[in-house]
Amino acid sequence: MSELRDATMNAITRIEREEADASTVTFLLDGREITARHTDTLIEIADRAGVQIPRLCYKAGMEAVGNCRSCMVEIKGERVLAASCCRTRSTAWKSHTTSERVLKSQQLVIELAAIRHARARVHAPQTRSMSGR
């Protein structure tokens, strides 16, 4: 039947979508074994597990793009840190959210954002109130 559907239709059925969403993967997050849907991002999984990861540009329900880089995590075997807001995981993962490397990276991003914000406030033009005072 699926061969016929593949040849005649492009759309995935509701049942097929539910089956795909239901498939799970187990991996390690800060030494804890976690089971989650394969479509979940690492930051979503961490939130459900009670693991705090800082974020500036991430908001649940909106497209995650990883621009701010404050949600970086370390994934064993990978050379560079990964933005947890737009990264889904695999079974081989051993993720770390509190390693020294991760915490230094997160701290640097937050400090740079705070400095930039402070400079923007200093250089912003002063506006008068509507009453003219």
CATH of the domain at 69: 3.10.20.740
Q: Is residue 91 in a domain?
A: yes
pLDDT value for 3: 47
pLDDT value for 93: 76
> Alpha carbon of 75 to those of 6, 34, 45, 110, 133: distances in Å?
37, 14, 14, 21, 56
DSSP code at position 102: H
Supply 57's token pair: 């540009």
Per residue of the chain (133 residues), give pLDDT as tens: 444 444 455 676 776 666 666 688 888 899 999 988 888 899 999 999 999 999 888 888 888 888 888 999 999 888 999 999 988 866 567 888 889 999 999 999 999 888 887 777 766 666 555 555 5
Pairwise CA distance, residues 49 & 126, whole Å: 45
Q: Is residue 98 in a domain?
A: yes
Q: Is residue 77 in a domain?
A: yes
- CB count within 10 Å of CB 28 equals 16
User: Which structural domain range is residue 50 located in?
Assistant: 23-121
Domain count, the chain: 1
Q: Is residue 10 in a domain?
A: no
Q: Is residue 9 in a domain?
A: no
Query: 55 with 70: CB under 8 angstroms?
Result: yes
Q: Is residue 80 in a domain?
A: yes
> Alpha carbon of 63 to those of 57, 68, 97, 128: distances in Å?
10, 13, 22, 37
Q: Is residue 127 in a domain?
A: no
Q: Is residue 13 in a domain?
A: no
Supply 69's token pair: 């880089």
pLDDT value for 21: 62
